[in-house]
Amino acid sequence: MELDALDFSSLRGSVQINAPLAPLSWFRVGGPADLLFTPEDEDDLIAFLKLLPREVPVLVIGLGSNLLVRDGGFRGAVIRLGKAFQSISIEPDHHVRAGAQAADVKVARMAAEAGLAGFSFLRGIPGTIGGALRMNGGAYGGEIKDVFVSARGIDREGRFHQFDHASMGFSYRHCAVAPDVIFTEALFKGQPGDPAKILEEMNAITEARSSTQPVNTRTGGSTFRNPPGKKAWELIDQAGLRGYRIGGAEISQLHTNFLIAHEGATAADIEALGEEARRRVKEMTGITLEWEIKIVGEPIQ
């Protein structure tokens, strides 16, 4: 279906046809989306979902930190939540409420300033709360499930849903909520703590990331999930792939579970490099690495 033939004039948010996605991904590669929608609020999001034909694929993106868009782009509608979904508030009884588009690091910082412990690990996750909910984001000894209380979301039919801890079905880098649900906000609970000590812990995480990960490069965060009892980076390193390149893509010299997009890199280069790492690790160890980066869209034909 030609999405530019649909009438979205009743919506308050931004609608872009044939919208570039490369600027929205940390890799800065990939083709355009047929449509990009930024809703003003939950009601606007519901209105859009009800207008959109059910056969049109929908992709929700946050900060684009673990996203690889193929060079042919995404055939469907991409949703990127707007400012109304970035709110963060401290609530009674050590609770924190955050919109799905709120940056993890900002939630960690606000919790620290309020003297709430338990959120420092979010400083090590370069994404949004929505992404952390979807994949039970974790780093430096903590996971979102550790502080999670409840969440709300909207399904493909435009219906609201509330989720408690049990209904999220959290496991390693995964939640069991239907993939068509778009999380809009969540409630978390921490414990009383000393703001100075919490900030010190967060600063240590910042320093650790800077010294062990290529944080100031065009990368997508951790490329592969850690297999049970193993470290993905160690397996890739043992396969002799540190610094290995395909086209403009390179396996990081600093941390081998990170792929780097150099000038001129394409999404095809990055995906091929990841697949080569998977092939060599499988050949060497029998272990199949699973992508943690989300790969979407179509290759160039």
Domain final residue pick, 83, 111, 139: 83
- Active-site residue flag, 97: no
> What is the rounded end-to-end Cα distance, in angstroms, of the chain?
20
| pLDDT score of 6 | 85
Same domain, 159 and 248: no
Burial class (CB in 10 A: 0-12, 13-18, 19+), 178: exposed
- Over residues 133-154, the pLDDT tens digits come to 999 999 888 999 999 999 999 9
Total structural domains within the chain: 3
Pair 98, 206 in one domain: yes
| Cα–Cα distance for residue pair 24/295, rounded to 1 Å | 14
Question: CB-based contacts of 142: which residues, under 8 Å, 6+ apart?
Answer: 118, 119, 120, 121, 122
Could you read off the pLDDT of 50-85 as tens digits, one per residue?
999 999 999 999 999 999 999 999 999 999 999 999
Q: What is the pLDDT of residue 167?
A: 97
User: Which domain CATH number covers 97?
Assistant: 3.30.465.10
Decide: 188 and 148 in contact? Cβ < 8 Å: yes
Assess contact for 103 and 110: CB atoms under 8 A. Answer: no
Task: Indicate the residue among 158, 178, 212 that finishes a domain.
Answer: 212
Q: Is 292 a catalytic residue?
A: yes
Q: 104-113 and 195-212 are packed helices; what angle lies between their axes, rounded to 10 degrees?
A: 150
**What does the alpha-carbon distance between residue 43 and residue 156 come to, in Å, rounded to a whole number?**
13
* Confidence band for 1, pLDDT divided at 50, 70 and 90: low
Instruction: Give the mean pLDDT of 182-200.
Output: 96
pLDDT tens digits, 71-124: 999 999 999 999 999 999 999 999 999 999 999 999 999 999 999 999 999 998
Task: Give the amino acid at 121.
Answer: F
pLDDT tens by residue, 258-271? 999 999 999 999 99
Q: What is the CATH number of the domain that holds 289?
A: 3.90.78.10
CA-CA distance, 149 to 130, in Å (whole number)?
14
**201 within a domain of the structure (yes/no):** yes
76 and 99, same domain (yes or no)? no
Distance of alpha carbon 289 from alpha carbon 301, whole angstroms: 27
Q: What is the pLDDT of residues 217-233, one digit of tens each?
A: 999 889 999 999 999 99
pLDDT at position 85 is: 98
Residue 224 DSSP class: B
> Quick check: is 173 catalytic?
yes
Q: Decide if 170 is inside a domain.
A: yes
Q: Are residues 91 and 200 in the same domain?
A: yes
CATH number assigned to the domain comprising residue 56: 3.30.43.10
Are 93 and 109 members of one domain? yes
Q: Is the Cβ–Cβ distance between 180 and 156 less than 8 Å?
A: yes
Same domain, 177 and 133: yes
Is residue 245, in this structure, part of any structural domain at all? yes
Spatial strand order of the sheet with 58-61 comes to 14-20, 32-38, 74-80, 58-61
Looking at the fold, whether 193 and 97 belong to one and the same domain comes out as yes
- The answer to whether residue 219 is domain-embedded is no
**Runs of H (alpha helix) within the chain:** 42-51, 104-113, 129-134, 165-168, 195-212, 232-238, 267-285
Same domain, 135 and 25: no
**3-class secondary structure, 201:** helix
Answer yes or no: is 227 within a domain.
no
Average pLDDT, the chain: 95
Q: Does 96 lie in the same domain as 190?
A: yes
Mean pLDDT of 240-256: 97
Of these residues, 222, 252, 278, 280, which one is catalytic? Answer: 222
Q: Is residue 224 in some structural domain?
A: no
Tokens representing residue 280 in the block: 């060599």
Give the residue from 83, 115, 130 where a domain finishes: 83
Tell me: do 194 and 270 sit in the same domain.
no
Q: To the nearest 10°, the Cα dihedral for 278, 282, 285, 287? A: 80
The single-letter code of the amino acid at 292 is: E
Q: Is the pTM of this model over 0.85?
A: yes
Domain hosting 265: range is: 232-296
Looking at the fold, whether 20 and 94 belong to one and the same domain comes out as no
Catalytic residue among 28, 173, 242, 245: 173
Instruction: For residue 206, count other CB atoms closer than 10 A to its CB.
Output: 14
Number of Cβ within a 10 Å radius of residue 283: 9
